[in-house]
Amino acid sequence: MADQAKPGMVTIILMGQLQTDDGERDLACEISEPVSVQQLIRLQPRLRQHVGQLMKEKKLMVTINKRIASEDSLVHDGDAIKLVAHDGMGGTGLAPM
């Protein structure tokens, strides 16, 4: 019988103007194995639409445990992921159109 992977926890911290529709900035997320930042965001319904769009437009900066990362970086149990929007010109990327 194969060993079941123990679920782990990671924290997503939304910085700057980013927050969920409920105003949350810190999200605890359960993972069963290492996943990419992109996969982790897709698994979070509260983040998927807005943060996913920023990621698609390359307007999202990512750090994992205070180190610069990318959407393809792997997230492991205990990691802290910080997400911040940017527009490539020093702004937050969240200005009204």
pLDDT at residue 52, as a whole number: 85
CA distances in angstroms from 69 to 15, 17, 66, 84, listed in the order given: 15, 20, 9, 12
Beta strands in the chain (DSSP E): 8-14, 26-31, 35-36, 60-64, 67-69, 74-75, 80-85
pTM of the model: 0.81
CATH topology of domain 25-85: Ubiquitin-like (UB roll) (3.10.20)
More confident residue, 15 or 92: 15
Query: pLDDT band at 1, cuts 50/70/90?
Result: very low
Q: Quickly count: other Cβ atoms within 10 Å of residue 69's Cβ.
A: 19
Tens digit of each residue's pLDDT (9 = 90 or more) over 29-87: 999 999 999 999 999 888 888 898 898 899 999 999 999 999 999 999 999 999 999 87
- Assigned token pair, 65: 């445990």
